[in-house]
Amino acid sequence: MKRFTVLIGLLFLLTFTLVGCGQNQQGNTQNEEEIPEVNLGYIFTNHQTPLLVAAANGEAFKDMGTYLKEVVPREKYELMSDGKKLADINLVVTKSGSETTTLFAQGNLDVALGSVTAFIQGVDQNVPIKVLCPIQTEGMGLVVPKDSKINDWNSFAAYVEEAEQPVKIGYHSPTSGPKIVFEGALHKAGISATQDPNDMNAEILLVDLKDTANLNSALTSKQVDGWVGPAPFPEVAVTQGLGKVALELRDLPPVGEWYDFPCCVVGAHQDFIDQNPQVTEAIMEIMTNASEWCNQNKDKAGAITAEWIGIPVEAAKASTLVYNTDPSEEWMSGVGVYIDILNDMDKFEGQLKDKTLNDDVKKLLFDFSFIEER
């Protein structure tokens, strides 16, 4: 009887312990569920180096207060702020700005870095996204074969005029900054362009190469006569002896119009912004701190970029990009030019059609409240 009583007591104690553990596990699970899981997209380009640097340096940025704690290299991180975990971050590689906006529309991205033109066209198509801040300007070039006689805009225009068939110029995304800037400059210069390979009356045939990885191979295989794209790919073409930079897109006509021109930005889905303001602000803090670090440590930032995206170190270090999260008046003016160009070329079909960058359009495109709070 005594042994039976002891046995009953042990079973009661074991049951109590298991129930207690179950409650703790459930409680921990509930706490973890309160931590948002963030899908953060980026493209393999040094236009987005601040994100790569923030992830690669990780806890080395701990003294800045907000940083990314590595869980799985290049894939999973914890967003930390003042010793507290705010979110789980999944890094998602995208091929282009157009793919980025598609993933936003499908609900597969929460935050992403991409071209401002992609965000603009996404907003036109009612994708619920907002630009939160710029990340850099310029850094775009026209690359041609290394033995080409094209060395500037005038020699390019002469080459186009003398050609007996449309000159084929590749690009990596329909909504990329380089493609829109180049097409806009052609339009302003009165040079006709088409994306229809059967249109033999056009002077330029714009060829969608789908991915930055295809730019140089398309050039060496003579699929295209040249291509326009973002850094570091023009520098890669030069360092690997695959081509030369005929001109920086900042030097396109009209002269001076394309200087300090907007390119990549940080943006987010509206639902994510509304539901996670603290996380959104923390991501903005990381982007700003990492941008400043990149500007002050160009060679180190270049080395991180080269190792991360698999390009020659000398190509990454040759970058002259300046990173900045401040939406200055000049930057806003450039966005306005994009909208004017896209409307002039009849690229809008939705809520930005026939619009200029007025206050109503700014409300559709931007949410700078998190960057302004810093």
Mean pLDDT over 334-347 rounds to 94
- In angstroms, rounded to a whole number, what is the distance separating the alpha carbons of residues 80 and 314? 33
User: Would the pLDDT of 271 be above 60?
Assistant: yes
Pair of tokens at residue 216: 């140089």
What are the tens digits of pLDDT across the range 111-168? 999 999 999 999 999 999 999 999 998 899 999 999 999 999 999 999 999 999 999 9
- Taking only the tens place, the pLDDT of each residue in 3-22 is 444 444 444 444 434 333 33
Domains of the chain: 37-137+261-372 (3.40.190.10), 140-251 (3.40.190.10)
Q: Tell me: the pLDDT tens digits for 191-209? A: 999 999 999 999 999 999 9
Q: How far apart are the first and last CA of the chain?
A: 72
Q: Which residues contact 300 (CB under 8 A, 6 or more apart)?
A: none
pLDDT at 257 over 90: no
Phi, psi dihedral angles at 89 (to 5 degrees): -110, 125
Task: Work out the mean pLDDT of the chain and round it to a whole number.
Answer: 91
Q: Is 43 helix (H, G, I), strand (E, B) or coil?
A: strand
> How confident is the model at residue 260, as a pLDDT?
83
Q: Which residues of 320-344 are buried (b: 16+ CB within 10 A; e: fewer)?
A: ebebbbebeeebeebbbbbbebbbe
CB 99 within 8 A of CB 211: no
